[in-house]
Every structure is written in structure tokens, then in C-alpha cells.
């Protein structure tokens, strides 16, 4: 039985003494011990080696009084399992030499048993769970189908993903075929994560905010909602759509247990748009972790007061930046752990 149930209690709308806290990308690049491993192993070697993935997952847990561990992995392992050979290129990030550009490319994707090719992820979950020893819950995740499509068509990161958007607007039927394939694999993948031991899952829609509300409904939300519908039968689901404040009302009417939000919306508006009932997660600007520790502490406590203790999970509005100091990250977490109204 889990000793710290704060996250699960918040997801299920139970009363808590203080909100739970974790940070997106907490098992990663701002930690010196992570950078040491980075010098020894390339990115996807770390993802594909269960022992290394488990070790990285636990790094922030050993340093900080966090309320949840999030499995070290990457959203691109799903398209890799579909025979979309992403690599992580230095100074570029995600890179695909031959991006998807035709119906033929989509039709030849290997989706049969794709979730089984991710066995290394499930092994990492089992090792991590053993080492956590029921101290904390473990969170699994996947990218939204739209976000995976963006990388698969663009071939690399982008501020606008114009190439990916143009593909969808010119060839909507092709886009929907690709999105459905990604959705089907993602559902099976997350179900196997739950079977392997994760206590909840999060869907990252990093690029949903690049779409208009109408296009978001067509090309992103309808596929995320398929995942939510399937996974909500087995576990709690958090949906995080960066820049997707316009869809909060629709999202709040789904079977998601919580909605992650970024810093471009106030706590008051987020509560208003979601009807004040669903659990919210966020929304501290990651760049604010570069300010003074005392200021971070005060602003985090004020953020909690504005959201309210109940139905709330403290987090950043996006992933932690690599140049954040340990002291400042500690101040963020301490402000939550010591919160007393």
C-alpha cells in the first residue's frame, strides 16, 4: 500500500492537507547526476536501458521531498515503435531524416504489436516500482497524437510547425489516418504501462496551442479524448495541453481526472473555465525558477492560495529549464511542503 497518496487523493478529488507537488522534467537535465550519465550514454540508450531509466527516475526523489516519481522516458518512443526512426541530435533535438510526407508513408507504418516493442519501458516501470518500495506513486506518460504527428511530419522541433499544419490542412484524410494509428498504439502502450505498475498517466500535448480552437477539436482533442476514454477505465488520467486554455471547458467535461495548465492563464480563469470542480495542475512559469529563492517560495505559496488547496496539484507550466539551480528547485518544492494556509 502506498505511503504517500497525496497525488492520487488530489486526482480523485479527496480532501488533502496540502496539495501534492512534482515538476515536469524533474528527472532530467537540471540535475548534475543526470548530466554525468548524459556524458556516458546517449539519450535513447538511457531510455531503452531499464536500469538506467529507473536510476534517472529516482534521482530527484533522492534529492527532494516530491510526492510523485515520473518515469524517465520520451514521447518519441511510441513513433519509434511504429518504425518512425527518430534520433536525438546534438544541438537539434528530435530529428527524423525522412519525415512522413505521403499517404504511402503512413500506410507502411508498422503498428501491429508496436506496444510490445516497448518492453524496455515496462521493465523500467517494474524496476522503479521495486526501488520506490511503495513510498510514492509512479506516473507514466505519452505524447498526444497531434504532438507526435507534428514531429513526424516536420522532422524536427519548430516554433510554428507550419509544415505539419499545412500537411493536415491540405490532406486532412491522410492526417486523420496517421492520428488514428498513433492513437491506437498509444492506448495499448499506456494500458501496458498501467498493467506494469504506474499509478496514473499524463498525456502531453505540447503543440496543441498552435491550433485554432476549431482545428484543435478536429486534429488533437478528439484523439486525446479517445485515449482518456480508454484509460479512465483503468487509472487516473492527467491531460496537459500547452497553450490550450481555450479548450479547458471541453476538456473538463471529459473523463480526465486532472488538467495541466501553463502560465498564460490565471488560476481564477482556469477555475472559471473548468467549472471549479476538476483537479488542476500547474502553472508556475519555469523561467521564474531562475529568480531569487525567497521570491520563488513566496510566489509558489501565493499560487497555492489562488488555486486553493483542494483539487490542485502544484507543478510548473512546462518542463524545468536545464539552467535552474538545485537551490531554486528546492525552494519551489519546499514552499509546497511547508504550506500552511
Question: pLDDT by residue (tens digit) across 282-291?
Answer: 999 999 999 9
SS (H, E, C) 217-251: HHHHHHHHHHHHHHHCCCCEEEEEECCCHHHHHHH
* Alpha-carbon gap, residue 116 to 81, rounded angstroms: 8
For residue 132, the model assigns a pLDDT of 98
pLDDT digits (tens, 9 = 90+) for 20-66: 999 999 999 999 999 999 889 999 999 999 999 999 999 999 999 99
Burial of 91 (0-12, 13-18, 19+ CB in 10 A): exposed
Establish whether 28 is an annotated binding residue: yes
* Alpha-carbon gap, residue 299 to 189, rounded angstroms: 38
Establish whether 197 is an annotated binding residue: no
Enter the pTM of the model: 0.97
Establish whether 206 is an annotated binding residue: yes
* Alpha-carbon gap, residue 76 to 194, rounded angstroms: 19
Contact 23, 63 (CB under 8 A): no
Establish whether 114 is an annotated binding residue: no
Burial of 239 (0-12, 13-18, 19+ CB in 10 A): buried
Residues 6+ apart with CB under 8 A from 137: 2, 4, 5, 7, 8, 67, 68, 69, 199, 200
Residues 6+ apart with CB under 8 A from 261: 240, 245, 248, 270, 280, 281, 282, 283, 317
* Alpha-carbon gap, residue 206 to 151, rounded angstroms: 11
* Alpha-carbon gap, residue 206 to 159, rounded angstroms: 11
For residue 341, the model assigns a pLDDT of 77
91: left (phi over 0), alpha (psi -120 to 50) or beta: left
For residue 38, the model assigns a pLDDT of 87
For residue 277, the model assigns a pLDDT of 87
* Alpha-carbon gap, residue 199 to 103, rounded angstroms: 37
Establish whether 26 is an annotated binding residue: yes
For residue 75, the model assigns a pLDDT of 98
Establish whether 25 is an annotated binding residue: yes
Using 70 as the pLDDT threshold, list the residues of the chain that sit under it.
none
Residues 6+ apart with CB under 8 A from 43: 74, 88
Establish whether 74 is an annotated binding residue: yes
**Rounded to 5°, angle at Cα 252 from 248 and 255:** 140
Residues 6+ apart with CB under 8 A from 97: 85, 155
Task: Name residue, grid cell 519525415.
Answer: 99
* Alpha-carbon gap, residue 276 to 262, rounded angstroms: 17
* Alpha-carbon gap, residue 265 to 47, rounded angstroms: 33
Task: Name residue, grid cell 514552499.
Answer: 335
Establish whether 151 is an annotated binding residue: yes
For residue 51, the model assigns a pLDDT of 98
Contact 231, 191 (CB under 8 A): yes
Largest Cα–Cα distance in the chain?
58
* Residue ranges of domains in the chain, CATH in brackets: 6-337 (3.20.20.210)
Amino acid at each position: 500500500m502506498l505511503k504517500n497518496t497525496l497525488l492520487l487523493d488530489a486526482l480523485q478529488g479527496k480532501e488533502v492537507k496540502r496539495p501534492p507537488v512534482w515538476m515536469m522534467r524533474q528527472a532530467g537535465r537540471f540535475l548534475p547526476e543526470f548530466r554525468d550519465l548524459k556524458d556516458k550514454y546517449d539519450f535513447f540508450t538511457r531510455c531503452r536501458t531499464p536500469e538506467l531509466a529507473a536510476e534517472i527516475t529516482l534521482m530527484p526523489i533522492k534529492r527532494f521531498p516530491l510526492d510523485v516519481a515520473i518515469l524517465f522516458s520520451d514521447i518519441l518512443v511510441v513513433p519509434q515503435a511504429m518504425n518512425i526512426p527518430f534520433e536525438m541530435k546534438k544541438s537539434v533535438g528530435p530529428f527524423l531524416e525522412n519525415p512522413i510526407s505521403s499517404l504511402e508513408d503512413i500506410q507502411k507504418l508498422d503498428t501491429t504489436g508496436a506496444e510490445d516493442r516497448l518492453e524496455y519501458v515496462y521493465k523500467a516501470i517494474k524496476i522503479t516500482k521495486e526501488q520506490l518500495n511503495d513510498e510514492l506513486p509512479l506516473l507514466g506518460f505519452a505524447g498526444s497524437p497531434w504532438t507526435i504527428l507534428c514531429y513526424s511530419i516536420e522532422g524536427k522541433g519548430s516554433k510554428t510547425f507550419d509544415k505539419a499544419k499545412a500537411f493536415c490542412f491540405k490532406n486532412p484524410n491522410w492526417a486523420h489516418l496517421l492520428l488514428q494509428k498513433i492513437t491506437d498504439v498509444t492506448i495499448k502502450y499506456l494500458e501496458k504501462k498501467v498493467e506494469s505498475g504506474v499509478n496514473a498517466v499524463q498525456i502531453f500535448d505540447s503543440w496543441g496551442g498552435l491550433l485554432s480552437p476549431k482545428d484543435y477539436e478536429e486534429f488533437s482533442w478528439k484523439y486525446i479524448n479517445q485515449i482518456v476514454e480508454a484509460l479512465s477505465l483503468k487509472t487516473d488520467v492527467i491531460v496537459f495541453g500547452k497553450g490550450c486554455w481555450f479548450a479547458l471547458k471541453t476538456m473538463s467535461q471529459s473523463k480526465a481526472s486532472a488538467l495541466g495548465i501553463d502560465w498564460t492563464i490565471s488560476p481564477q480563469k482556469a477555475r472559471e473555465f473548468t467549472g471549479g470542480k476538476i483537479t488542476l495542475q500547474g502553472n508556475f512559469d519555469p523561467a521564474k525558477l531562475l529568480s531569487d529563492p525567497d521570491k520563488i517560495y513566496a510566489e509558489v505559496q501565493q499560487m497555492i492560495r489562488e488555486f486553493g488547496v483542494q483539487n490542485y496539484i502544484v507543478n510548473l507550466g512546462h518542463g524545468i529549464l536545464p539552467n535552474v539551480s538545485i537551490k531554486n528547485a528546492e525552494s519551489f518544492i519546499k514552499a509546497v511542503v511547508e504550506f500552511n494556509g
